[in-house]
Amino acid sequence: MFLEQSDHPISELVINWRKINHSLTKMVYPFLRACDSDRIYGNYYTHTATGRITMHEPNIQMVTKDFKVTDFTLKKEIVISCRKAFTASQGFILVSADYCQLELRILTYLSQDSLLKNIMDNPGDIFKSVAAKWNNVSEDLVTEAMRHNTKQLCYGIIYGMGAKTLADQLNISEDEVVEFMESFRNTYSGIKEFVKKTVELCRKNQYVETLTGRRRYLPHINDSDLAVRGHAERQAVNTTVQGSAADIVKNAMITIEDGINSIFQKTRCKPKLILHLHDELMYEVPEKYVRKTAKIIRKGMENSAFVFGHFPVKIKTGLSWGELVEYTE
């Protein structure tokens, strides 16, 4: 945090070294060790507390997006892309399908906040619109910092982040974070009411439920220790929203697999699910079946969430993970 705020010339050098060293030690070297011929097979935990599927040994989900570092010799920025190393087999294309702001849309559905519902029903930059309403300015006057803070606050509420964690991410004091969150919840009063009702119901039942009815028990919700109780309260909100998102994605995976098996039952070379990345699914698809598969994926994902409202899906294709471009049917 202090390095990023510093104007000292060595700061950027240290930041660059950290980024490159992290890529090498946490991604490149472990993946090379795990590589079986030309493929890497990750392991998944499918029964987590929130319902999210997570990876380990190696964790392909943590492969970072492209980032830039400064080459001080050439005096220019160069792009480091670890994702470009993950390529489709010959004759195949990678097809990625991602729910657009899935958890924020679930929060909107659960809270029934009128301002958020209006924003979700209109095209454009969701977080810019939310920031404009919160700061009571037009979207043209929303700065990148305002948008960033709004996005962090939204997901801070969803993920159950404490004030200290959020303060570290926003590089501001805890008091400012508390003030920001209170201001945000007052603007979007439906969220404030949803959080209150979720915690009260959890105190009564000692469990919360996702949209699909899956339960998570939180016995510490009535603990006498303020810190322990506060943690359970944040888990109650987090599980309700993030757990619902996880359930929807899992249902989508099953629906899509059924669709693929039905359409390609007589085909030797079928599309395959190769990566689950929270709200995103990636398939390796024979080139000649990209259009047909994209339709199956979009329909499967949208149908898995339509009961709770409109959940748009963005599809991208490419020869490698780092070269995906938006696909239009």
Residues known to be catalytic: 98
Q: Are 139 and 132 within 8 A, CB to CB?
A: yes
Reading the block at residue 318, the tokens are 């490419």
Query: C-alpha angle with apex 313: 310 to 319, nearest 5 degrees?
Result: 175
In one-letter notation, the amino acid at residue 109 is Y
299 CB neighbour count, 10 Å cutoff: 15
> E strands of 111-245, at which residues?
207-209, 215-217
d(CA 245, CA 194): 17
222 DSSP assignment: G
Task: Give the list of residues 6+ apart from residue 297 with CB closer than 8 angstroms, or none.
Answer: 95, 97, 256, 281, 283, 313, 315
d(CA 167, CA 160): 13
Task: Give the list of residues 6+ apart from residue 113 with CB closer than 8 angstroms, or none.
Answer: 188, 189, 190, 191, 194
